Structure 1
């Protein structure tokens, strides 16, 4: 991840056009103005919400500001971008992929704020899927991936970072693309991809 900055991606499998938007996801109230300035089209084939922050700490040691940051970046900004982009996604009968985490499936000690935000993201995806029958919604749950975020997580855990121990970002991206390219008569609602090691 990018420490609170994120990118929304829109494009189609046929024209492979992808638009990346640098947004401050730690400030969800500013997203509407940022999207207006971006001049997005009236139709969007897809949105990939791929952003997150993770600060590890026990619940008893997690300060309010850390909770707010986790929830703002990992959940509230996803909900706000969804709300703002739904008209364009409806117009194209598009698809949303929320990049979650296996922490959104199982909470572990020291991961309280992160896991809570990711469980919330899963609930958001399920709600959007139920409310928007013409939009396909996928929750993507990647396991540990060789990224800068994983490097920071390993440092917080007091361990060494060896990218060979984790799945590659390319493997995760291909998995997301597979969900996006699924024929329209089917929907991948949840996809879990873990490192083979």
Structure 2
């Protein structure tokens, strides 16, 4: 008998946010967790039963091979991202290329590869954006530019895929307690309780995935209860 459970693919599943999303969706979906850290992937698979792909999201050939093996795909959550604080003054050409490759080109290419399956399922594509996708983040020109670009990608994809009933969502968390954020803030001033919990972002993803079939939630901002920085 065919498996009736929907399938969800999560990139960046070895990060704090991606792992929390994988844990949440595993309760109702067959989860495919994509990441580069083999040890963390194995731990996540043991905990959730997820299928794991130890793949770099910028390796389009490897992704194409994996996607070609799938019979069904209902949800993609693009949680993989490259952060960092790089200004125009400090960023090199390679910095720009690397950040756009991970934050923009990789999710676009993976979505392209999966479109036939997503169309067949009338599925949902969730891009994990940022407050920096709509507002300037001082000192972070590279990251801000990629998140603006990612939102533009999502907005056009939503229009283009409307005839196929594919839902396209930008979910933009504010500052979230992850390793990426910890790398950008001095330890002496880091107070985890001030930031969004990854599990709260996962709850917002769940809200989007479970939206009634007649609607799509196009843009969802998830902000700290007490604002820290207006980005």
Give the Cα separation in 1 of the matches to 2:174 and 2:121: 31
Residue by residue over 1:87-136, the C-alpha shift from the partner in whole angstroms, topping out at 9 and shown as x without a partner, is 11011110000001111010122110000000010011011101101100
Name the SS for the 2:185 alignment partner.
helix
Asked if the contact 1:12/1:45 (under 8 Å) is kept, the reply is no
Deviation at 1:14, TM superposition (A): 8.3
**Which residue does 2:129 correspond to in 1?**
100
Matches for 1:24-173 after TM superposition, within 5 Å: 24-25=56-57, 28=58, 30-37=59-66, 40-133=69-162, 134-155=165-186, 160-173=189-202
User: Which shifted more, 136-145 or 32-41?
Assistant: 32-41
Query: What's the offset of the Cα at 1:159?
Result: 6.1
- Give the deviation of 1:19 after TM superposition: 1.3
How is 1:173-192 mapped onto 2 (pairs within 5 angstroms)?
173-192=202-221
2:12 aligned with 1:6, yes or no?
yes
Indicate conservation of the 8 Å contact 2:67/2:114, yes or no. no
What TM-score, normalized by structure 1, do the two folds share? 0.87
Question: 1:14, 1:149 → 2: CA distance?
Answer: 26
Report if aligned partners of 1:32, 1:84 keep a CA contact under 8 Å in 2. no
Q: Deviations over 1:69-92 (max 9, x none)?
A: 110111010111011111110111
The alpha carbon displacement at 1:13 in A equals: 8.8
Give structure 1 regions of 4+ aligned residues with deviation exceeding 6 angstroms.
8-14
Provide the C-alpha distance between the structure 1 equivalents of 2:95 and 2:166, rounded to a whole number of angstroms: 33
Taking structure 1 as reference, are residues 182 and 108 closer, same or farther at Cα in structure 2, changes over 3 Å only? same
Q: Over aligned residues, Cα RMSD in angstroms?
A: 2.4
Task: Give per-residue Cα distances to partners, 1:2-24, cap 9 Å, x unaligned.
Answer: xxx83488997984321112231
Normalised TM-score (structure 2): 0.75
The answer to which of 86-95 and 36-45 deviates more is: 36-45
Whole-Å separation in 2 of the counterparts to 1:33 and 1:13:
24
Moved more, 78-87 or 54-63: 54-63
Q: Tell whether the 8 Å contact from 2:81 to 2:102 is kept in structure 1 after alignment.
A: yes
Q: Which residue of 1 aligns with 2:45?
A: none
